[in-house]
Structure 1
Amino acid sequence: MQWDTTRYPVSMRNMEPWIRDKAIEIANALLREGVAEDSAIRIAIAQAKRWAARSIRRDRCDEALAPMKRPSRVRGDAHSRKAPFGANS
């Protein structure tokens, strides 16, 4: 049986919708490959949870690195100007 966002296994009922959608996608692919329905459900749920955990870690990493990715001022601009004559004394 193929599943979709309105008809899916009861064991996927309490999952977050975006994770459930991935689990449904994985389960349907497993069914097409001939995996038994009960095994496909268990495998799909486990894989979707792993996929979600990696997605969340990647997003957090991107958020943490965002300040480092911002373009900074060109360092030479502030340091390339010569001091006025006699200012170094």
Structure 2
Amino acid sequence: MTWTFENFKADLDNLTPQVREKALEIAHQLMEKGGFSEEQAIKKAIVKAEEWFLDSEG
């Protein structure tokens, strides 16, 4: 199943395109594993994507 996370567009719009793409990738993985609501998945994914970006930058 493909999740669109449309309800979280405002949260995603504040991210750079690279971080947004990574956050969606992580959120999809979390949803596939199960045990997360869309809200939990996207919030956790945004944090993880920002960490990923900071780690890759420096």
TM-score per shorter chain, which class? 0.7 to 0.9
What's 2:18 paired with? 18
SS at structure 2 position matched to 1:3: coil
* Kept after mapping to 2: 8 A contact 1:31/1:40: yes
Deviation at 1:9, TM superposition (A): 2.6
Gaps of 5+ in 2: none
What's 1:62 paired with? none
TM-score, normalising length: structure 2: 0.82
Runs of at least 4 residues of structure 1 off by over 3 A?
none
Aligned length: 55
Deviation at 1:45, TM superposition (A): 0.2
Q: Structure 1 residues 13, 24: CA separation in 2 closer, same or farther (over 3 Å shift)?
A: same
Q: Which has the higher contact order (CA 8 A, sep 6+)?
A: 2
TM-score, normalising length: structure 1: 0.56
Q: Which string of whole-angstrom CA distances, capped at 9 and with x for unpartnered residues, describes residues 26-65 of structure 1?
A: 00001111111110011000000000000000xxxxxxxx
Greater radius of gyration (CA): 1
Q: Give the RMSD, CA atoms, in angstroms.
A: 2.0
